Structure 1
Amino acid sequence: MSRSAKLVEGLSDLTLWRSAIEAAGDLVYEWDLVADRIVWGGDASAFFAVQDAQVPGGGEAYHGRINPEDLPRRLRALTDHLGNDQPFDCEYRVRSDSGDFNWVHDRGAVERSPNGTPLRLLGTLRGITQRKHHEGRLEYLANFDDLTGHYNKLRLREALDHALANSLRFQQTGAFIVVGVDSLDKINRAYEYEVGDKVLVEVGRRLDRCLRAADVIGRLGGDRFGIILASCPIGEAQAAAERILQAVRQGPVPTQSGPVHVAVSAGVVAFPQQSKTAVDVMTKGEGALLAAKTAGRDCVSIYCLSEAQREDFRASMAIGEDVKQALRDERLMLAFQPVVDARNQQVSWYECLLRMRDPEGELVPAGKFIPVVEQLGLMRSIDRHVLDLAVADLVAYPDVTLAINISGLTAADRSWLRALVAHLRGRPEVARRLIVEITETAALHDIEDSARFVATVRDLGCKVAIDDFGAGYTTFRHLKALTVDIVKIDGSFVRQIRDSAENQLFVRNLLSLARAFNLATVAECVEDSEAANYLAEEGLDFLQGWHFGRPELAPPWRVGDSGDVQTWPPTDNAATLRYSQAGT
């Protein structure tokens, strides 16, 4: 190749190289270390956001544009590279003509003379401002709540760990307060979530104003804040919690939908007296908050656990573990108690009651583990297991009708409903023989959610019963909203009914309320023939109790004796007419 051809090829490569650098938005540079002169390759004025005349031409001028906080880092990287051949690679901020600082990533390598003297530095600069902003955003979110600007749960827990360590070291009392916004879910439903977010932000601001500067505030999630009060006796912590309630009460929160009146509840736990770990302190604070909400909301609850209560709690935890293991080992099973026609005392269906065997095979009374299961929040798993067992019997024995009880938590659990739909899809003959019982108190807790649950279950073809009818405050409006099929009168009104005029009057009133909606009625806890005869004469449709049979693990249909098991509804009972009138 001729010399002129090589020159043309070199110029072409240089043009291509410069075009690539400019397209990438990067700079390359050659810094003559002896003459202190920098030659830039690329659009330096655009890169630095300066006029052409302000593009730094030497190392000293360039260092004058580097952020003073970052300059020592670049100088140290240069010294290590020139003196020890460490890689030259660093990030720092450079000032533009507008005064803003932009982040750059600087990489280079020195060229030396034959005797080792540094002659020039060849390097590249890349703008990384956008990446730094993204990293800063991620770092912020790793420590702070995006909505309120307070610590997030993880960062709050770290701060609580530190406060606990200091309390143990210096033998000082601290406190942790959990503050919950009352009825935030209703605010969200009424005004949309933007208003709910506005309420949370304003509550956070009021917390800032009424607490000490040294107190640490964080958002635990949802409607809850956590507050760390270091070196604070429990009496002062309670006073601080009362101030918080008053600060929130002081006036409505202005929102785009108008002023919204807000109240909060607070749970207070002292450390290290009540707990020595951050996770446990947070859990107990949540428990104290729940106690405040249960007590009527807009109040303060102090967590206080005696040693006897601790022992009871440990025992409950042990029972909870036993139940979970029994669930894994398939030692949870159903016992079946008959529900009979009040007129002819023939069995109409069976109620499924949960039982557990211990590892030695002994039967554990339900009263020993069901209350603990409810307290520990295990009822969803248990109710799913009961559903699976009951449906298995319904599929295997087409002449059997069964009733299952579910907890209030399960009534709001969509996963349980999905399981019910999966079991009954394409099986209308099974659905017709399944009765789902929900307690009255659970049904009335959120009447709208309960109504949706009842409607979904009945749409599948199942019957729905209200258990413990009379224990709550059911009205005509409630029964109309729920559209159930059966009401089971609470056993407390049935026991000794022959000797209690008050119970007799109450049962008559409940019976009248049920009849107004064409509902079948069941009297629970019938223990003798006198009570059975009296209730039948009063017009009860069905009876259940030890007088007719105790819960049995081996029901008649499993041993080949299913002659007394009737289909639903009974053919010779007064309830049949009511069902036909109600269109069921």
Structure 2
Amino acid sequence: MRNDHQNLGKVSREYMVWLCNLEELRLVYGPELQQQALEVAVERLQRQGLSARLAEPKGCSLLASESLCPTEGAETEDQAQDRLERICSAIGREPVTLGAKKAYLQVEAQALGGISLRSMSELHGRSRSIACRRQQPAARNLRPRWRQDYQQDMYLACRLLDDLRLGILAVAFQPVAALNSAGPGPSMYYECLLRRNISAESDGYGVPDAIQALERLGLVERLDRSVLWTALDALAANQEVSLGCNVSARSFASAAWWTEVLVYLEEHPGVAQRLVVEITETSSFPDEKSAQALIRHLQILGVRVALDDIGTQCGSLDILDKVRANIIKLDKSVLEKAAGGQPTMKMLQSVVGVCTDRGVSVIVEGIDSAAALDTALGAGASGAQGYFIAHPSLHLHGLFDQILHVPDVLLQMDAVAYDWAHMLNWSRPDSSTMPGQRMA
């Protein structure tokens, strides 16, 4: 009777939670890690005051529910998005481990509302993460290599995300110099490059390789979000600098955290006008229309958008028809080819001309020698970046004298000044119920 009395007036809200890479984890690491991941996910949801069970037998999604006290007024969209983010953060912010095996979960959540369980498979097919699936090859002889590649990517991803959680990652600054007839001029902006701020280099790994691994695994959004907010804070702290920040194409999708960024930029136009968002070309947009709308919104607010790592291969400039960027950054390979012969130099000049006609500035990367700089100048490029201009540095003297560390945005979100569970008046599930029993 006491429990019934406590539950009087309670309302229930349900969510579908997808563990988007669970099938890949089973194929690569075995069913034991898959089961461990499911149990850990349920346990982490319980700590947030939700109960959870498998939505379907042998599936990769959980049906989570919470009991809430009715509140005055309907829940706002921001509150609903914040709740979904916290659900995903609770499950995905730390890795799942089983012995020597270790992996981060890729998580998405959706409030069910009036959606029936029968519609879940169709809804999952429209999720942002479906494009990131690493399909096992049909040919049996190719599967061992596929599993090996996946394990290597997950190893690098774990190293990088662990360093992010531990506060080991920092920003190094490399200037992008404007070019004129006399050579390099003042800096157009400084690109923020991710580095490990740690002296034990023997225990190191390649940060660029790890970032690409995160992209291939569909786990890069957390890193992009953390680095972008670090850049925004730095711009707010110093009004004399412009900064460029890399964001993977995979992160350009409709999400609550982008709404927060856009609101901040609208309220701080001086920051927006000094920000360059560099979109890496190493992966595709989850949804082109959504990405185009987001890019256009950034530009309306005054943000300059750059397309990074563009090559001269056939079709590489087709993206200009889809994304009306302010800046094109040509990959180092373009410069190397142009230096090798006159026909390729003419091609480079043609690329610069096409971009200039569209009002797009062209920056050539990989300027590591005087000869490379002469090639960029001869092609008519607007800017140059490379070791010959300046090496990346953790200290930007006169602007940022202290090392700029990158805090993990998910850990920051958990450290907010209010108790989310208390605010929602949640009724916590019975702690005596084991995760495996809830999924039965």
Q: What interval of TM-score do these two structures reach, taking the shorter chain for normalisation?
A: 0.5 to 0.7
Match of 2:174 in 1: 337
Q: Shift of residue 464 of structure 1? A: 0.7
Match of 2:135 in 1: 288
- Taking a change above 3 Å as real, the CA distance of residues 320 and 372 of structure 1, as seen in their structure-2 partners, is same
Q: Which of 458, 465, 473 is equivalent to 2:315?
A: 473
Contact 2:366–2:387 under 8 Å retained in 1: yes
Query: 1:493-572 to 2 correspondence within 5 Å?
Result: 493-495=334-336, 497-558=338-399
Match of 2:315, as an amino acid? Y
Match of 2:224 in 1: 383
- Taking a change above 3 Å as real, the CA distance of residues 223 and 472 of structure 1, as seen in their structure-2 partners, is farther
CA distance in 2, matches of 1:531, 1:467: 19
Contact 1:339–1:544 under 8 Å retained in 2: yes
- Taking a change above 3 Å as real, the CA distance of residues 422 and 445 of structure 1, as seen in their structure-2 partners, is closer
CA distance in 1, matches of 2:349, 2:237: 39
Q: Write the deviation string for residues 182-211 of structure 1: whole angstroms up to 9, x where unpaired.
A: xxxxxxxxxxxxxxx9xx99xxxxxxxxxx
Contact 1:435–1:463 under 8 Å retained in 2: yes
Q: Write the deviation string for residues 94-121 of structure 1: whole angstroms up to 9, x where unpaired.
A: xxxxxxxxxxxxxxxxxxxxxxxxxxxx
> Does 2:175 match 1:328?
no
Q: Shift of residue 445 of structure 1? A: 7.4
CA distance in 2, matches of 1:318, 1:537: 43
Q: Shift of residue 451 of structure 1? A: 2.1
> Does 2:254 match 1:353?
no
- Taking a change above 3 Å as real, the CA distance of residues 442 and 502 of structure 1, as seen in their structure-2 partners, is farther
Relative to structure 2, which stretch is displaced further, 307-316 or 458-467?
A: 307-316
Match of 1:417, as an amino acid? W
TM-score, normalised relative to structure 2? 0.56
SS across alignment from 1:503: helix
Contact 1:526–1:546 under 8 Å retained in 2: yes
Match of 2:379, as an amino acid? E
Q: Shift of residue 305 of structure 1? A: 6.1
Match of 2:58, as an amino acid? R
CA distance in 2, matches of 1:419, 1:440: 24
> Does 2:298 match 1:457?
yes
Identity of aligned residues (%): 24
Relative to structure 2, which stretch is displaced further, 337-346 or 352-361?
A: 352-361
Q: Write the deviation string for residues 501-529 of structure 1: whole angstroms up to 9, x where unpaired.
A: 34313212211210221111101111111
Match of 1:157, as an amino acid? K
Match of 1:237 in 2: none
Match of 2:109 in 1: none
> Does 2:333 match 1:432?
no
Q: Write the deviation string for residues 520-562 of structure 1: whole angstroms up to 9, x where unpaired.
A: 110111111122123213211100111111221122334669x
Q: Shift of residue 360 of structure 1? A: 4.6
Query: 1:68-467 to 2 correspondence within 5 Å?
Result: 154-157=55-58, 222=123, 287-288=134-135, 301-302=138-139, 310=147, 313-343=150-180, 344-346=183-185, 347-357=187-197, 360=200, 364-440=205-281, 442=283, 447-467=288-308
SS across alignment from 1:288: coil
- Taking a change above 3 Å as real, the CA distance of residues 528 and 438 of structure 1, as seen in their structure-2 partners, is same
- Taking a change above 3 Å as real, the CA distance of residues 303 and 328 of structure 1, as seen in their structure-2 partners, is farther
Aligned length in residues:
282
Q: Write the deviation string for residues 277-330 of structure 1: whole angstroms up to 9, x where unpaired.
A: xxxxxx9xx6437x6xxxxxxxxx356665565455444433333222212211
TM-score, normalised relative to structure 1? 0.43
- Taking a change above 3 Å as real, the CA distance of residues 303 and 436 of structure 1, as seen in their structure-2 partners, is farther
CA distance in 1, matches of 2:162, 2:242: 30
CA distance in 2, matches of 1:498, 1:544: 16
CA RMSD of aligned residues (A): 3.5
Q: Give 5+ residue unaligned stretches, structure 1.
A: 1-152, 159-196, 202-218, 225-282, 292-300, 562-584
Match of 2:225, as an amino acid? R
Contact 2:176–2:188 under 8 Å retained in 1: yes
SS across alignment from 1:556: coil
Q: Shift of residue 397 of structure 1? A: 1.4
CA distance in 2, matches of 1:313, 1:439: 21
- Taking a change above 3 Å as real, the CA distance of residues 483 and 342 of structure 1, as seen in their structure-2 partners, is same
Match of 1:327, as an amino acid? L
SS across alignment from 1:375: helix
Q: Write the deviation string for residues 312-360 of structure 1: whole angstroms up to 9, x where unpaired.
A: 5444433333222212211121111111011241322111111234695
Contact 2:307–2:329 under 8 Å retained in 1: yes
Match of 2:172, as an amino acid? A
Contact 1:522–1:544 under 8 Å retained in 2: yes
Match of 1:326, as an amino acid? D
Q: Write the deviation string for residues 465-490 of structure 1: whole angstroms up to 9, x where unpaired.
A: 111223572567x5355322111112
Match of 1:320, as an amino acid? A
SS across alignment from 1:494: helix
- Taking a change above 3 Å as real, the CA distance of residues 437 and 429 of structure 1, as seen in their structure-2 partners, is same
Larger radius of gyration: 1
Q: Shift of residue 390 of structure 1? A: 0.8
Contact 1:391–1:423 under 8 Å retained in 2: no
- Taking a change above 3 Å as real, the CA distance of residues 365 and 320 of structure 1, as seen in their structure-2 partners, is closer
- Taking a change above 3 Å as real, the CA distance of residues 328 and 321 of structure 1, as seen in their structure-2 partners, is same
CA distance in 2, matches of 1:221, 1:303: 29
CA distance in 1, matches of 2:212, 2:395: 25
